[in-house]
Every structure is written in C-alpha cells, then in structure tokens.
Amino acid sequence: MILPTGLRGQLTALAVLVIVAILAVEFVIAPLIGRYLSTEEEIFEMRQDIARYRHLLAERSALRELADKLQRNNPLAPITLSGDNPALAAADLQQRLQNAASKNGLRVLSLRIRPPGSGGNMERIAIEARLQGDIASLRDMLFELETGTPYLFLEQLNIRTYAARRRQVGTDNLDVRLELYGMRPSDDDARMPQG
C-alpha cells in the first residue's frame, strides 16, 4: 500500500490523528473522568455517613440513659392494664369489670379470658362477660368503664331482654353479653436488647 504524500498525506495523517484522539477521549478519558467523579461523590457521601455515625456514637450514652429513664417511669402506665404478663393483666381486667358491675347493681354470670392479641408494642387483653341487670345499671357501668383509666374498650355488646316472672319495679330483665378489652405493653418490648 502506498501512502499519500504532500498535502494529501498531511491531511490523511491529520484525520487519522483526530480519529485516534476522538476515540481516546470517548473510550479512555471520558470513562476515567466519570469514574473519578462518581468515586469522589461516593467518598463525599461516606464522609457524611461517618460524621453522622460519630454524632450518634457521641449521643449513645445520653440516649441510653433517656431510654432507661423512660422505661422506669413508664408514661403509659396510667392508661394501660397493670400486670407483668398477659394473665395478670387479664385478671386485672376481670377485677375491674366485676367491681364496676357490682358497684352499679349488675350481676356477673360468667367471665372468660380471650387469647391475647398483639399489635406492635402493645398487647390486647380481652375478656368476654355475661351480665344481668337493668338498663340504667348497664348504662352507668359502661360509662364508668369507658371513661375511666386505664382505657378500656367495648368490642361487642349483645343485649337481650327476657320476661321476668313477676313484673316488679327494679327487676333484672336484661341479659348482656360483651367483650371488653384493654392494652398493655408487649413482653417483646420489655425484653428488647440493651446494647
């Protein structure tokens, strides 16, 4: 192959040189610059993460102390059922229902504890009860349960009337079935690792 000479040869050499330069920029220099810029961005993000982690480590002891204080003070205690486990909390709920029923003139015929249910950091403690009484007594008891503390909630309420043998003023003529529940801190929340 014979290479052109003169002006034509110089233009051909210049064209080859420009093509090689374009290819070098496109396939070598541009990827290196892109990689350098992305690495620099990653380094900047890592430095920000390290600064944030150092800040959190510096606050770790203060946050742990605050968490311990919060656990000792238990701000939810006034509104949740007492008891170190679900069985004790259910017993507390039963006692509260029995006290409210007897205070308002209702008879407790049966009580049954429902299996506890969980929802996040709280555990749902429920009981089913069957009561007998009149409408005024039932109203007063429900008002007392739902407006007092700890917070208690009425899930189901079925009321049936029955015919009394003798119609006397103040006779019990309601058969009431209800499901009452309250909340308590979950055992899983109390057993969280400290560390």
pLDDT digit string, tens, across residues 103-143: 999 999 999 999 988 777 889 999 999 999 999 999 999 99
pLDDT of 166 above 60: no
- Taking the C-alpha atoms of residue 57 and residue 63, their distance in angstroms, rounded to an integer, is 10
- pLDDT band, residue 186 (cuts 50/70/90): confident
What is the phi/psi pair of residue 128, to 5°? -105, 140
What pLDDT, on a 0 to 100 scale, did the predictor assign at position 94? 93
Report which of residues 166 and 117 the model is more confident about: 117
- 72-80 average pLDDT score: 77
Residue-averaged pLDDT of the chain = 85
pLDDT at residue 81 in the model: 86
Distance CA 54, CA 47 (A): 10
Torsion sign over Cα 28, 30, 33, 38? negative
pLDDT of 157 higher than 60: yes
Please state which of the ranges 1-10, 22-31, 163-172, 183-192 shows the lowest mean pLDDT. Answer: 163-172
Q: Is the pLDDT of residue 56 over 70?
A: yes
Among the residue ranges 29-43, 67-81, 156-170, 177-191, the one predicted with the least confidence is: 156-170
**Structure-model confidence comparison of residues 95 and 195, the more confident one:** 95
Q: How many C-alpha atoms does 123 have within 13 Å on its Cβ side?
A: 21
Residue 191 pLDDT more than 70? no
